[in-house]
Amino acid sequence: MVWKDGFTPIHALDQTITITSKVGRSSKTPSASALLSNVELEGIAAMGITWNNIANIQSLALEKHIIEILRLIENEIK
């Protein structure tokens, strides 16, 4: 399991948001020994998961800010 304890990068727009991810099994049946010995593949997968989670954290923070801006605009219109 990856990121089982959650993670918030230091450069996140909102430090209160934490993402927890679980990577499931592949539908293919590759050789376990070939996969376990492929360090490059492990690094590529880890970086993909990392950047995806960072993007998710940033989008959640932006959503929060957008909702607040819309609320402020609505109050001004009233």
Q: Do 72 and 22 contact (CB within 8 A), yes or no?
A: no
The whole-number pLDDT of residue 5 equals 60
Total domains in the chain come to 1
Rounded to an integer, what distance in angstroms lies between the CA atom of residue 59 and that of residue 72? 20
Query: What is the residue range of 49's domain?
Result: 1-20+33-78
For the entire predicted model, the pTM comes to 0.50
| 52 located within any domain | yes
Distance CA 75, CA 78 (A): 5
Residue 28 lies inside a defined structural domain of this protein: no
Tally of residues, the chain? 78
Q: Count CA within 13 A, CB hemisphere, residue 21.
A: 17
Residue 27 lies in a domain: no
> How confident is the prediction along the chain (78 residues), in pLDDT tens digits per residue?
345 566 666 777 777 877 776 767 777 777 878 877 888 888 988 999 998 988 889 899 999 999 999 999 999 999
